[in-house]
Chains A and B, each alone.
Chain A
Amino acid sequence: MANSIIRINELKRNFIVGSETVRALRGVSFEIQAGEFVAIMGTSGSGKSTMLNILGCLDKPTSGEYYIDEIEVSKFSNDKLSEIRNKKIGFVFQSYNLLPRTAAIEQVELPLLYNPNVGAKERRERAEEALRLVGLEERMYHLPSQMSGGQQQRVAIARAIVNDPVIILADEATGNLDTRTSYEIMSLFQRLNESGKTIAFVTHEPDIAAFTSRVVMLRDGRVTKDEPVKTASAQAALDALPASDDY
């Protein structure tokens, strides 16, 4: 299993709310191999946010095993988890989470600032390269307020890939965008996936999940469905959109 990026085994997560115990995850097991593009789906309350927090090393499971890049991290200290997030994970959020009044290039440099092994010159070069990959080489010095939603999300994606993570975790990354821009972003994710990036994409929209290659369905803290899907091309969907949208 040399190319297993994520392997979880009997993952459970309980929350104590008042005197009650809420069992958000009730024993989830699956694996994500290198190069996969997985959609994690589920309604609200299904446990997909909890799942994503644990996968993103922001939260620790109550019990179970979690291997990321063959490292068992479920018992790691907060500081070690920070290092894992910094080196192995790239986050893309629904609301972009860009810093206000900060140029795109500096937003993208941010994860590398927390990595003591990357010098100033390398940091700048890698940030420029990441922005080029998302097609924003013309807008490196633009502020978030000078960019559209789609462009802001591209900056966020550049920030997620700049540290060369083993997996990109996207949380409803198209939730704030219109259909055309959503498809553009999905097309970008597909291109990143084709170039070898492993992506886990949390969404509740089936038409967005259709652009991935595998769907993991969660319901009430358990996996109810885990199967490969026929990947639709986001570029084709984009071309099929009526031209009138393009005012």
Chain B
Amino acid sequence: MNFSNLIKIAYTALLRNTTRALLTMLGIIIGIASVIAMVNMGQSSQAQIEENISSMGTNLIMVMRAHQRGGGVNLGNANSQSLKLADVEAIKAQAKYVDAVSPSVNASGQLVNGSKNWPGSMQGGSVEYLAIKKYEIAYGTNFTEQDIASYAKVCLIGKTIVDNLFEEGENPIGKEIRFGKIPMKVIGVLEEKGQNSMGQDQDDILIAPYSTVQKRILAQNHLNMIYASAKNEDVCQLATEEIEKILRTSHNLSPDATNDFEVRTQAEMLEMMSSVVGTITSLLTATAIISLIVGGIGIMNIMYVTVTERTKEIGLRMAIGAKAKDVLWQFLIESGMLSVVGGIIGIIVGIIASYVIAQVMMSPFVVSVGAVFMAFFVSAFIGIFFGWLPAKKAAKLDPITALRYE
């Protein structure tokens, strides 16, 4: 039997009932389209997270105070005073893989400018803070070592604060705003950064010398955090280990004592976020795959109906010379065509859907080539898998009984 003839036989048979063919395909179209859309969406969020985190600096290292325990109760890290300025000095002096390091202290309070006010937080850092956290100055200048030494009441502000405290078009540079009762002079405005991957507004920020925040606002000697940046991404892990060693020494910890601090990197954050997105994506994809299986069962159902309905036709085909395997192939090709054509339409619909989703969610538009290929082969497989039993049933028919079937 000539294969192209079988294909012709199968598609003319399908064309005899276009509505039914289209409806049957719909199951596969929806299934494949949702798989494609889900996979693309997952990859798009992944890309977005990577983009965001790298905008925060991929070589960023954070040193946090360890959680304290009192009588078995985890007290959090709010009262820990384990991080000191001396630690920053030690890291700066000893670490080989660390490029820049900055203490971090913060205080929250109301920001006031004339009749306008805004709840904000003040971030204290060193001169290198901007470089570590990948902030750029839009206009104005950064504060200096001199400002740090003199606890100068100067600050840099982000766009959200500019928008909320100043009139449109007003130049904030040189203006004095108040943080609670303390007047702070604006010396610079930061370049806009947008939201980070956790939805935090990175422009709602006021940066001042850490000494100012420590002495004039919080009246504390310890630090909330230490930020450091590794020389490059590759040595991030080495830098982390190095910082840990330096801090253990400077904290005089005995070899069996646990750390009274924690060192985290952005890479870990990235991994954590990715695994969350990964889980959500696999859940959605699993749902989509279930709909695909339902679509496949739809094909099987229709193929059974078709075989029963066309029993007489099968009898006739056998009488005029179709072999059992010709009949088997005809029905397998019919179900295969339904699912492959459905699959191709589904791939197109899925790509369009992921484009629309990307536009709406303002995330990057990603097409996973792997998913497209997988979808194509899965749909072909579904057609053959779910078409097999009905086709087998058709091929097993006895021509004499089939011809008499009413």
- A contact set with B: CB distance below 8 Å: 53, 56, 58-59, 78-79, 82-83, 85-87, 91, 93, 97, 99-102, 106, 110-111, 113-116, 159, 163
B16 near A102: Cβ-Cβ < 8 Å = yes
Q: Which residue of chain A is the closest to B2 with respect to CB atoms? A: A116
Top 9 A-B residue pairs of the complex, sorted by shortest distance between their CB atoms: A86-B321, A114-B321, A116-B2, A111-B320, A82-B323, A101-B16, A97-B316, A113-B5, A85-B321
A82 near B321: Cβ-Cβ < 8 Å = yes
**Which parts of B1-53 form the interface with A (CB within 8 Å)?**
1-2, 5, 8-9, 12, 16-17
A99 near B323: Cβ-Cβ < 8 Å = no
Interface of B is mostly: helix
Given contacts A79-B323, A91-B319, contact A113 B8 (CB under 8 A): yes
A-B contact pairs, 29 of them (CB 8 A): A58-B318, A58-B400, A58-B403, A78-B324, A79-B324, A79-B325, A82-B322, A82-B323, A82-B326, A83-B321, A85-B320, A85-B321, A86-B321, A91-B319, A91-B320, A97-B316, A97-B319, A97-B403, A102-B12, A110-B317, A110-B320, A113-B8, A114-B1, A114-B321, A114-B326, A116-B1, A116-B2, A116-B5, A163-B320
- Does B312 interact with chain A (Cβ within 8 Å)? yes
Per the bound structure, the CA–CA distance linking A102 and B399 in Å amounts to 21
Given the complex, which residues of B lie within 8 Å of A86, measured CB to CB? 320-322
- Does B176 interact with chain A (Cβ within 8 Å)? no
Q: Which residue of chain B is the closest to A86 with respect to CB atoms? A: B321
- Does B191 interact with chain A (Cβ within 8 Å)? no
- Does B313 interact with chain A (Cβ within 8 Å)? yes
B321 near A87: Cβ-Cβ < 8 Å = yes
Interface size for B (C-beta < 8 A) is 25
Given the complex, which residues of B lie within 8 Å of A82, measured CB to CB? 318, 321-324, 326
B321 near A111: Cβ-Cβ < 8 Å = yes
Given the complex, which residues of B lie within 8 Å of A91, measured CB to CB? 319-320
Given the complex, which residues of B lie within 8 Å of A116, measured CB to CB? 1-2, 5
Closest chain-B Cβ to A15's Cβ sits at a distance in Å of 11
Closest chain-B Cβ to A168's Cβ sits at a distance in Å of 12
**Which parts of B316-338 form the interface with A (CB within 8 Å)?**
316-326
Mask: chain B, 272-314; 1 = CB below 8 Å from A; 0 = not: 0000000000000000000000000000000000000000110
